[in-house]
C-alpha cells in the first residue's frame, strides 16, 4: 500500500464525507409498495414476465433480459402486483415499471448458489449466474456485468481493477462496504478475476480512506487473497472514472473512442464485486443496495441498505429530511449526479446516494473565455473543453467531433475550474447529442 498513484488532470473539490463515513450500514425497512422499473441498466429494457394481480416473492424474476446487453429485474418484496405501467424514473422521464404491494411476509423464492465451488466452475457458468442475478455496475454507469466479463476473443484481459475510489464528494456507500463486507467483496473480486482469466487483480482505493486501506491491506495478507494487490491513489476527482483508474494503476492509456478492454483491463465497482459474491456464493440476486443519504437538511445522515424500488420519499423520511427546507435533491454526487423533480421515483440499481440542498443556485452569469487553459489542464482525458464549447455554440459539430467531443465523460471538472463560469459541460453534451444525431441520420442513408 506504499506509494501513491494518480492520473493527469482532475480537480480537488471538498470531500464532504464526514457526515457519513463513520456511520455503519443500516437496513431500511421495506416500504409498503415498491416500483421496479424495467430499465435500470445500459442496454435493452427487461421484458415483463408477470401479470397484474399475480403474487410474487423476494428474488422472483419480474422481467427477463431484453437482449445480450440487458439483465432481468427481480422483486425486492413479497406481495401482489398492483399494476404495470409508466412511473417516474430517476433519469427524469416516465418508464414502464412493476408496482408491487408489500404483504410484509418477506417470503423469498428458493435461491441456490452456483452448483459447485466457484474455483472449479467454468467462466461461462459464473457469467450465467451473474447474468441471471441481474447484476450491473453499481458505481453509476449500470453496465450489465456479464457483458464486461465476455470480451471478444481477440481482447485478452490481463488486469482486473476493483474501483474503491468513490471520488464523488459526500458519497460513502462503497467506503462502508469495504469496511463491513471486506472478505465478501474481495472474494467477489477473486471470482471476477478468475472469470476473466486475468493475471493481475488490483484493489484501488483513495488515500482519504485510511481505515479502508489499512483493513484491506491487512486482509490481503491472508493467503486466500494472495492473487489480489492493493493500490493506493491520491485523492482526486474523477479518480473513479474507468480511464483514469487504468491510467493511475497501470499507466496504460485507453485510446480515443476505445474501451478498457482495448488495453487489457476490466474495471468493476466495489458494490458490484459484493453483488457477484452474493449471487455466486449464496444465490442472492441483486434486489437491494447500499445508498448514502446526506446533506444539510438530513437529520440522520446514513448509509442504508435499501431495497430496489423503494420510493425516494420513504428513504428521505426515514432519515428525517426536512422537506420544507430542502430546495433540491440530487441522486448521486454533486459533480455528476442528477437533480430530481419527483420524490416518488424509486431507488434503482445505480442509486449510490441521495444528497439534499437548502438552496437552488440560479444560473450564474458567464463571461467570455479568457483562454486561460484551466479547463484543458483539469480535463482528465486531455480535451480542450473551451474550444469544444465554442464549436458547439457556432454549430460546428464536425469540428467538435474532430477534437474528440465524444470522448468527454461529462465529469464537470472543466466547469468547476472555469473562471468565466462558462457551462462547458452543457455545451459539450449538446454537441454530443447533435453529433450522434448526425451519425444516426447518415447511417440510415447508407
Provide the pLDDT confidence category of residue 1 given band limits of 50, 70 and 90: very low
Give the pLDDT score at 83: 97
Q: Is the pLDDT of residue 244 over 70?
A: yes
| HSE toward the beta carbon, residue 26, CA cutoff 13 A | 14
Query: DSSP code of 136?
Result: B
Question: For the chain, what is the mean pLDDT?
Answer: 95
Q: Assess contact for 343 and 326: CB atoms under 8 A.
A: no
Q: What proportion of the chain, given as a percentage, has pLDDT over 70?
A: 99
- At 303 the three-state DSSP class reads strand
What gap in Å lies between CA 271 and CA 273, rounded to an integer? 5
Strands (E) across 235-331 are located at 265-269, 288-294, 302-307, 328-331
What gap in Å lies between CA 58 and CA 309, rounded to an integer? 12
Give the pLDDT score at 3: 67
- Summarised one tens digit per residue, pLDDT across range 402-438 is 999 999 999 999 999 999 999 999 999 999 999 999 9
All three cell numbers of 116, joined, read: 459447485
- Summarised one tens digit per residue, pLDDT across range 336-351 is 999 999 899 999 999 9
Helix (H) or strand (E) holding 25: strand 25-27
Average pLDDT over residues 369-398: 96
Provide the pLDDT confidence category of residue 140 given band limits of 50, 70 and 90: confident
- Summarised one tens digit per residue, pLDDT across range 276-313 is 999 999 999 999 999 999 999 999 999 999 999 999 99
Strands (E) across 351-444 are located at 353-357
Provide the pLDDT confidence category of residue 362 given band limits of 50, 70 and 90: low
Label the pairing between strands 159-164 and 265-269: parallel
Give the pLDDT score at 359: 80
Give the pLDDT score at 364: 72
Q: Which domains does the chain have, with CATH numbers?
A: 1-29+111-361 (3.40.50.11540), 374-445 (no CATH)
Give the pLDDT score at 281: 97
Sequence-ordered list of residues with C-beta below 8 angstroms from that of 258, at least 6 positions apart, any chain: none
Helix (H) or strand (E) holding 99: strand 94-102
Amino acid at each position: 500500500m506504499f506509494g501513491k498513484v494518480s492520473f493527469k488532470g482532475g480537480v480537488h473539490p471538498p470531500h464532504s464525507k464526514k457526515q457519513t463515513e463513520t456511520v455503519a450500514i443500516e437496513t431500511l425497512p421495506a416500504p409498503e409498495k415498491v416500483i421496479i422499473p424495467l430499465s435500470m441498466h445500459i442496454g435493452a429494457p427487461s421484458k415483463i414476465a408477470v401479470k397484474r394481480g399475480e403474487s410474487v416473492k423476494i428474488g422472483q424474476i419480474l422481467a427477463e433480459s431484453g437482449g445480450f446487453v440487458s439483465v432481468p429485474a427481480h422483486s425486492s418484496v413479497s406481495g401482489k402486483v398492483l399494476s404495470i405501467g409508466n412511473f417516474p424514473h430517476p433519469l427524469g422521464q416516465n418508464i414502464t415499471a412493476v408496482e408491487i404491494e408489500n404483504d410484509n411476509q418477506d417470503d423469498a423464492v428458493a435461491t441456490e448458489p452456483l452448483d459447485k465451488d466457484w474455483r472449479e466452475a467454468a467462466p461461462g457458468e459464473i457469467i450465467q449466474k451473474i447474468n441471471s442475478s441481474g447484476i450491473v455496475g453499481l458505481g453509476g454507469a449500470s453496465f450489465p456485468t456479464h457483458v464486461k466479463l465476455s470480451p471478444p476473443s481477440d481482447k485478452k484481459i490481463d488486469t482486473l481493477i476493483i474501483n474503491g475510489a468513490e471520488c464523488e464528494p459526500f458519497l460513502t456507500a462503497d467506503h462502508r462496504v469495504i469496511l463491513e463486507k471486506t472478505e465478501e467483496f474481495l472474494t467477489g473480486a477473486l471470482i471476477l478475476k478468475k472469470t476473466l482469466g486475468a493475471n493481475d487483480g488490483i484493489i484501488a482505493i483513495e488515500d482519504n480512506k485510511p481505515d479502508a486501506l489499512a483493513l484491506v491491506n491487512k486482509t490481503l495478507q491472508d493467503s486466500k487473497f494472495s492473487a489480489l494487490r492493493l493500490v493506493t491513489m491520491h485523492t482526486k476527482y474523477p479518480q473513479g472514472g474507468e480511464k483514469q483508474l487504468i491510467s493511475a494503476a497501470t499507466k496504460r492509456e485507453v485510446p480515443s473512442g476505445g474501451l478498457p478492454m482495448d488495453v487489457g483491463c476490466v474495471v468493476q465497482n466495489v458494490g458490484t464485486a459484493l453483488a457477484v459474491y452474493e449471487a455466486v456464493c449464496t444465490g442472492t440476486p441483486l434486489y437491494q443496495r447500499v445508498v448514502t443519504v446526506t446533506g444539510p437538511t438530513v437529520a440522520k445522515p446514513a448509509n442504508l441498505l435499501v431495497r430496489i424500488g423503494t420510493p425516494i420519499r420513504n428513504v428521505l423520511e426515514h432519515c428525517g429530511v426536512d422537506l420544507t427546507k430542502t430546495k433540491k435533491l440530487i441522486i448521486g454526487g454533486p459533480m455528476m449526479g442528477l437533480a430530481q423533480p419527483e420524490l416518488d421515483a424509486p431507488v434503482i440499481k445505480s442509486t449510490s446516494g441521495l444528497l439534499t440542498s437548502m438552496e437552488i443556485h440560479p444560473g450564474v452569469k458567464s463571461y467570455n473565455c479568457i483562454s486561460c487553459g484551466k479547463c484543458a489542464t483539469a480535463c482528465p482525458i486531455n480535451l480542450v473543453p473551451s474550444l469544444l464549447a465554442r464549436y458547439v455554440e457556432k454549430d460546428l459539430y464536425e469540428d467538435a467531433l474532430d477534437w474528440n467531443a465524444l470522448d468527454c465523460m461529462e465529469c464537470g471538472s472543466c466547469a468547476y475550474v472555469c473562471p468565466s463560469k462558462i457551462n462547458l459541460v452543457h455545451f459539450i453534451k449538446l454537441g454530443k447529442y447533435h453529433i450522434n444525431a448526425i451519425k444516426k441520420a447518415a447511417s440510415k442513408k447508407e
